[in-house]
Chains A and B, each alone.
Chain A
Amino acid sequence: MRELCFSHVDVVYGSGKDAITALDNLDFTVSDGESVAIIGPSGCGKSTTLRLASGLLRPSAGTTTIDGSPIQGPRASTALILQDFGLLPWKTVRANAELGLKIRHVPRGERKERASEALQLVGLEEFADAYPGSLSGGMRQRLALARALALDVDLLLMDEPLSALDALLREQLQDTLLSLWRKEGYAQILVTHSIDEAVYLGQRIYVMAPRPGHVVTVVQNEDAGDEAYRQSGEFFARCNEVRELLRQAGGGGSHA
């Protein structure tokens, strides 16, 4: 993937009097290997944007393209991680990691190998035969990552992936997300309602506002992508800047 591009995108749910505009005139681009964060209050169209990028949803107006061709449906090297991780509790950790490969009819031997590599990458190889129900929240999150990584993705989409975790675990997994992204070189879009998460992980931050969902502004945040950034004065200044933008947009971030 060289570039994901949304141009003048509207998304309208329902029709007639009950129609709800979820996204209004969205322009959005992500380049190869870039890490982009989307932040905003609920109802601002964050998740809708991800569903568009994943091919689960088509725009009502405007165009969504990857490398110039329209997104027609789910794409082989795009992975989506949902808020509840979308794991299948009746499959073992290994079978969950293999799921995407199985759906794509990758032969069993190769499937096993790639899933093992991905589980190793997130430190879950010794739990391969356990069921998700016996894993902690952080481990489930890492399993969802492994399932995506086993696919050799070039675009990773995440919908509030860390929102269910406690603060310390959350920071740990933010570091995991960062190091995997740097190592694997895919582009990622992270939807979050956490200001520090957006600033820590997003090289560009789309600040969105609701009713109807639209982009208020795009914050350039080139310093993101380094563990040391979290401790720096610039990091806190950038967090404050984003917080102020959210406040002006009227929604307000739920917490930092």
Chain B
Amino acid sequence: MRKALGYIWGTVFVIILWWLLAIGIDSPALPTPAATWPELVSCFQKIMPQFWASFGRIILSMAIGTLLGAPCGLWIGRSKRADAIFGPILYVLYPVPKIVFLPVLFVLFGLGGEAKVILIAIAIFFQMVVTMRDAAKHVPQGAIDSMLSLSATKLQIFTDVVLPSSLPALFTALRITCGTAVAILFIAESMAGSSGLGYYIMHAWSLLEYPQMFAGIVAMAALGVILYEAFDIAERLTTRWRRA
């Protein structure tokens, strides 16, 4: 309830700010919410396929990046040997902005969806490896010793201690990276291809259809909010113990 009220207040604030800016700047490139709204309603049919195209790419790429990155991170964090080998590589590769590989991926995988999904998956992968590696290093030793003294196997220690204690970090990483993922997707879709919200926004821009462009921007913002909120809810459900 409190959360819903918060969202209403946040949305109202953003709309008012947008309105004031639109009036102040008075440019066709920044239409008022009132001018955008009918556009959003009337091109809803046109936007939805683009929305689903973008949504599908984000979900697929984040799933790939997480499913590959999180186990790698946990492994590197728990194994001294793996950390010695892969830790330095991470330090070199992690700060590289992955978006710069977009042209390479376009050449290798073509201008369709694959290159976009792979690029986002790579960015998410590195974020996951680094976050989960740190989380795995901070698993409470007392919990592990207790499990060992109860003659737990390595697998049991992983499923009952390492995994649950790293789960909050996983969701934090997901929430933070969904912003990055949407940003990369926008750039990738606007540069090449003929589907997705990024394409839609830049296409409307090139036709000087500003209200339509803004309808696309609102849809892209909604995509980010939906993802963030979904991860937030998933985190609440799986880490109830943290609020005990």
Which residues of A are at the interface with B, using a C-beta cutoff of 8 A?
Answer: 54-56, 73-76, 78-80, 82-92, 99-100, 103-104, 130-134, 151
Contact indicator A90/B165 (Cβ below 8 Å): yes
Report whether over half of chain A's contact residues are helix, strand or loop; otherwise say mixed. loop
Please give me the residue from chain A that is nearest to B157 by CB atom.
A103
* Min C-beta distance of A145 to chain B, whole Å: 13
* Min C-beta distance of A52 to chain B, whole Å: 12
Q: A82-B142, A90-B239, A132-B244 are in contact. Are A74 and B165 (CB under 8 A)?
A: no
Contact indicator B149/A88 (Cβ below 8 Å): no
Q: A74-B150, A85-B142 are in contact. Are A99 and B244 (CB under 8 A)?
A: no
| Distance in angstroms between the alpha carbons of A133 and B150 in the assembled complex | 22
Which residues of B are at the interface with A, using a C-beta cutoff of 8 A?
Answer: 140, 142-143, 145-152, 156, 160-161, 164-165, 167, 239-242, 244
Contact indicator A74/B149 (Cβ below 8 Å): yes
Q: A82-B145, A86-B145, A90-B165 are in contact. Are A103 and B241 (CB under 8 A)?
A: no
Contact indicator A80/B244 (Cβ below 8 Å): no
* Min C-beta distance of B244 to chain A, whole Å: 3
Contact indicator A56/B147 (Cβ below 8 Å): no
Contact indicator A86/B244 (Cβ below 8 Å): no
| Distance in angstroms between the alpha carbons of A133 and B146 in the assembled complex | 17
Contact indicator B151/A76 (Cβ below 8 Å): yes
Can you list 22 contacts pairing A with B, beta carbon distance less than 8 Å? Answer: A55-B149, A74-B149, A74-B150, A80-B145, A80-B146, A82-B145, A84-B140, A86-B147, A87-B146, A88-B143, A88-B160, A90-B239, A91-B160, A91-B164, A99-B146, A103-B147, A103-B156, A104-B150, A130-B244, A132-B241, A133-B241, A151-B150
B161: A residues at CB distance < 8 A: 88
